[in-house]
Structure 1
Amino acid sequence: MSTLAIGGVLLVVMFVVLTLGAWIGFGLAITGWVGMAFFTNSSPSLNLATAVWQSVASWELAALPLFVWMGEILFRTNLANQMFIGLAPWLRRIPGRLLHVNVLACGIFGSVSGSSAATAVTIGKMTVPELKRRGYPDHMSLGSLAGSGTLGILIPPSIIMVVYAVAAEVSIIQIFLAGFLPGLLVMVLFSGYIIIWALLNPSQVPPDDLGSTTLRQKLYASRELIPCMLLILLVIWVIVAGYATATEAAAFGAVGSLILAWWGGSLTFENFRESLLGATRLSAMIMFILAGAAYLTLAMGFTGIPRALAEYVAWLNPSKFQLIGVLTVMYILLGTALDGVSMIVLTTTIVLPMIQKVGIDPVWFGIFIVLLVEIAEVTPPVGFVLFVLQSMSGRDSWYVAYASLPFFLMLVIAIVVITIFPDIVTVLPRMFVEATQAGGPR
């Protein structure tokens, strides 16, 4: 059986297992076991133990439960409501109103966490219950959160960017700089869609109950933003100042949220206990999915499916824009079965010579891959953000996938835009290189 045929078989197995209602982590692991047992000579049991251990024994991954706990604390105290009170007067005249909070909050928090899952969970814990309580439709609140949650890996610092920079041997600083303007572009596209949807569906947007507000009243209401902004600035500052890694900054965030909740008088023993239990349940679910995904990734690597896809693309010998189109399809297909880091690690060494041959800038290509990984995060059946929001909201993953479809299309549009106008990606890295060569900051 050919390698690509094996990939088709494993995809069918995954769909069948998940359709039968198996837990997501079990579904991924079962698919990996089938691939390992029937299509390789490796031991399924031994590799299962290795993959599970390696997937969770990570210092960087320790940031995830800490950010989840931070979100639980904010969710169970009145800090989330304060954020909405502060933003509402400024957004009331924009079609879609408070739905834009998901985009803005994820964009800000994404610059802190570097993880789509952590961004979606932390912001979701604050915004989804509030939007539901205020009457906003679930499909828009979950869809905008699913799309905006992926900003965690596009807006620097980002673990995915570091992985690509190391694999492609390009400057990490240049990759980080390249992500800022595309991140802003994606936020504008998401908010633009929300505005268009609100104009076409005015009856689904809750009425504005604030009445007319003066600039002074808006500024007075914005004082409610101070606690959350202080917390975000704390987490950013300890990273930028070099006092903490992203994982240590997550601990600062959790402690800071506890202090702010206590200072605001909304922290009780019951809230503290429930936040710990909620963070434990959600973190265990995420870790379980990660373990299953790691085992499936290992099985995919043993079967040679990612390498076979990359070699097939090389055999086609496409032009620059044909190559971009083919790679887009290839990475979206890989995203249905692999996590983002694995996609990059398993394909970069094969793909890089191809892009260099047709004259594609490796820094631009890094952002291109990150956008494709963002798409993979909201692509069933293995869209990781979909799994996280499914568990958090109680909706099934297909409902969340359908809700996120418009934002999936916005990400595709973002890829088209940076392909037509590559300077959106390369202008900041180029300015940095020019400044460095001129004897500026190094």
Structure 2
Amino acid sequence: MDEFMLTAIFLGTLFFLLGSGIWIGLALLGVAFVGMELFTSRPVGDAMFTTIWSASSSWSLTALPLFIWMGEILFRTRLSEDMFRGLAPWMAPLPGRLLHTNVVGCTIFAAVSGSSAATLTTVGKMSIPELKKRGYPEFMIFGTLVGSSTLGLMIPPSLTLIVYGVTINESISKLFMAGVLPGLVLASLFMAYIAGWSFLRRHEVPTAEPKMTMLQRLYNSRFLIPVILLIALVIGTIYTGIATATESAAFGVIGALVLAATQGSLTKEALKESLLGATRTSCMIALILAGAAFLALAMGFTGLPSTVAEYIAGLQLSPLTLIFALMCFYIIIGMFLDGISSVVLTMAVVEPMVRQAGIDLLWFGIFIVVVVEMAQITPPIGFNLFVMQGMTKKPIGYIAKTAFPMFLLMVLMVGILVLFPELATFLPENMRQTPG
């Protein structure tokens, strides 16, 4: 059977199962089951159970539910309110004024969450009413918030980077460090967009906040101390080599529990809800990973990934052309799948191509995160768009329009990564290795 027919069978089965409305993880298992039955003589049940166990028992995967639980705990604290009170005095003098609290707030929360949806919800529930009350235009409030919340996918701890690292068997700690500088650069681009808007649309910028002395600003900054300590605990232990990513996740959970307890928000009900929320999200991602691992095995038996990789290698595309083609590819599939599903579904085919082209896999992980971030804010299945719609009750088309400038900045970020790959590779190459 030729490769075209194999591809048609796989894609046809996949789209049929996804269109039927069943869970993505089960759809991937179904496609793999059909592939194994049609193209191999190996017992399908034995192969499926062995593969699912191997995919689910990875030690690196332990960090995933821990970081998710940490985000769920923090979501139920006064973290967003404290961040706004601590950041506002420092952001007010900047061009664009308090809109910068959206970007900086999302950057800070991303460093203790790992989820763009949690970042958007936590920062948005405080900043939207506060910025509206002060007269900032909705278009800028929504756009900067939806775009900046995607930083939760890049700045460590990032759930997408954990999934990518497990899928290609790469160091999670190194991937986390690779995301720090690009994440800060992307946040700077978002802030530059706000500053540019303030110069071009001066009439839309609200009146300045009452001036505060340096002593007053420093006094208000006390609200930022808990979250800064938590960031230092999570990222600092990884960078200095004191802990692995999984161990730092455990430190993060303890820190989040302490923070919630000191704020008085660690009630029995809140703890129960955080555990249930973390369990639901972790199980969903684990099922997707198991399905993708079984699908990768089935495709490996057919020889489809290697055939596709050889075909693309035969085209003799330059690494730059390949990166551009993959960016377009991920933007398109990201319109229909969430980020984690996009990564695990395509790695079996994409990884051999990337290795063949000699592209650094750490760098490629950051590239993947940037294009997956784009998918979070592109219709029709842009997850962050739906979260924002649920918070504001605005039409999805309007929210997508507000996020479009942020999408263009992410495209620019891909160009910056291509021109300056050291942004992603410098910290991993210079970090201390964790013993053992």
2:146–2:385 CA contact under 8 A, matched in 1 = no
Counterpart of 2:86 in structure 1 is 86
Structure 1 pair 218–99 and aligned structure 2 pair: CA distance change class (3 A)? same
CA distance in 2, matches of 1:388, 1:292: 24
Is the partner of 1:101 in helix, strand or coil?
A: helix
Pairwise mapping of residues 198-217 of structure 1 onto structure 2 (< 5 A)?
Answer: 211-217=210-216
CA distance in 1, matches of 2:126, 2:110: 19
Q: Does 1:188 align with 2:184?
A: no
Deviations 1:310-354 (A, max 9, x none): 211111123454444445556767878865467556554554344
AA in 2 matched with 1:54: S
Question: Structure 1 residues 316-325 or 340-349, which shifts more?
Answer: 340-349
Is there any run of 5+ residues in structure 2 with no aligned partner, and where? Answer: 133-137, 431-436
CA distance in 2, matches of 1:143, 1:123: 10
AA in 1 matched with 2:371: I
* Residue 262 of structure 1, CA deviation: 1.9
Q: Does 1:60 align with 2:60?
A: yes
Structure 1 pair 305–194 and aligned structure 2 pair: CA distance change class (3 A)? farther
Structure 1 pair 82–180 and aligned structure 2 pair: CA distance change class (3 A)? closer
Structure 1 pair 234–367 and aligned structure 2 pair: CA distance change class (3 A)? same
CA distance in 1, matches of 2:350, 2:286: 24
Pairwise mapping of residues 2-151 of structure 1 onto structure 2 (< 5 A)?
Answer: 2-38=2-38, 40-92=40-92, 93-95=94-96, 96-101=99-104, 103-105=106-108, 108-109=111-112, 118-120=114-116, 123-124=119-120, 126-134=122-130, 140=143, 143-145=146-148, 147-151=150-154
Structure 1 pair 119–412 and aligned structure 2 pair: CA distance change class (3 A)? same
AA in 2 matched with 1:127: V
CA distance in 2, matches of 1:235, 1:172: 13
Tell me the TM-score normalized by structure 1. 0.72
Q: Does 1:352 align with 2:348?
A: no
CA distance in 2, matches of 1:315, 1:177: 34
Structure 1 pair 57–129 and aligned structure 2 pair: CA distance change class (3 A)? farther
CA distance in 2, matches of 1:300, 1:160: 20
CA distance in 2, matches of 1:82, 1:379: 30
Tell me which of 371, 376, 379 is aligned to 1:375.
371
CA distance in 1, matches of 2:388, 2:24: 14
* Residue 68 of structure 1, CA deviation: 1.9
Structure 1 pair 18–132 and aligned structure 2 pair: CA distance change class (3 A)? farther
* Residue 287 of structure 1, CA deviation: 2.7
CA distance in 1, matches of 2:124, 2:181: 27
Pairwise mapping of residues 177-326 of structure 1 onto structure 2 (< 5 A)?
Answer: 181-193=181-193, 211-319=210-318, 321-326=320-325
How many percent identity over aligned positions?
38
Is the partner of 1:317 in helix, strand or coil?
A: coil
Structure 1 pair 372–220 and aligned structure 2 pair: CA distance change class (3 A)? same
1:160–1:370 CA contact under 8 A, matched in 2 = no
AA in 1 matched with 2:184: L
Tell me the TM-score normalized by structure 2. 0.72
1:189–1:410 CA contact under 8 A, matched in 2 = yes
Deviations 1:59-104 (A, max 9, x none): 2222222222222222212233212221222234453333213542
2:119–2:149 CA contact under 8 A, matched in 1 = no
AA in 1 matched with 2:267: T
CA distance in 2, matches of 1:289, 1:399: 27
Structure 1 pair 212–340 and aligned structure 2 pair: CA distance change class (3 A)? same
Structure 1 pair 244–105 and aligned structure 2 pair: CA distance change class (3 A)? same
CA distance in 1, matches of 2:208, 2:350: 52
Structure 1 pair 185–407 and aligned structure 2 pair: CA distance change class (3 A)? same
Is the partner of 2:58 in helix, strand or coil?
A: coil
Structure 1 pair 232–323 and aligned structure 2 pair: CA distance change class (3 A)? closer
Structure 1 pair 262–204 and aligned structure 2 pair: CA distance change class (3 A)? farther
CA distance in 2, matches of 1:314, 1:144: 35
CA distance in 1, matches of 2:176, 2:76: 34
Counterpart of 2:412 in structure 1 is 413
CA distance in 1, matches of 2:327, 2:4: 17
CA distance in 1, matches of 2:38, 2:296: 16
Structure 1 pair 247–199 and aligned structure 2 pair: CA distance change class (3 A)? farther
CA distance in 1, matches of 2:316, 2:54: 37
* Residue 254 of structure 1, CA deviation: 1.4
AA in 2 matched with 1:371: F
Is there any run of 5+ residues in structure 1 with no aligned partner, and where? Answer: 356-361, 433-442
Structure 1 pair 231–328 and aligned structure 2 pair: CA distance change class (3 A)? closer
1:261–1:267 CA contact under 8 A, matched in 2 = yes
* Residue 223 of structure 1, CA deviation: 0.8
Please, what is the CA RMSD of the aligned residues?
4.8
AA in 2 matched with 1:144: G
Structure 1 pair 280–388 and aligned structure 2 pair: CA distance change class (3 A)? farther
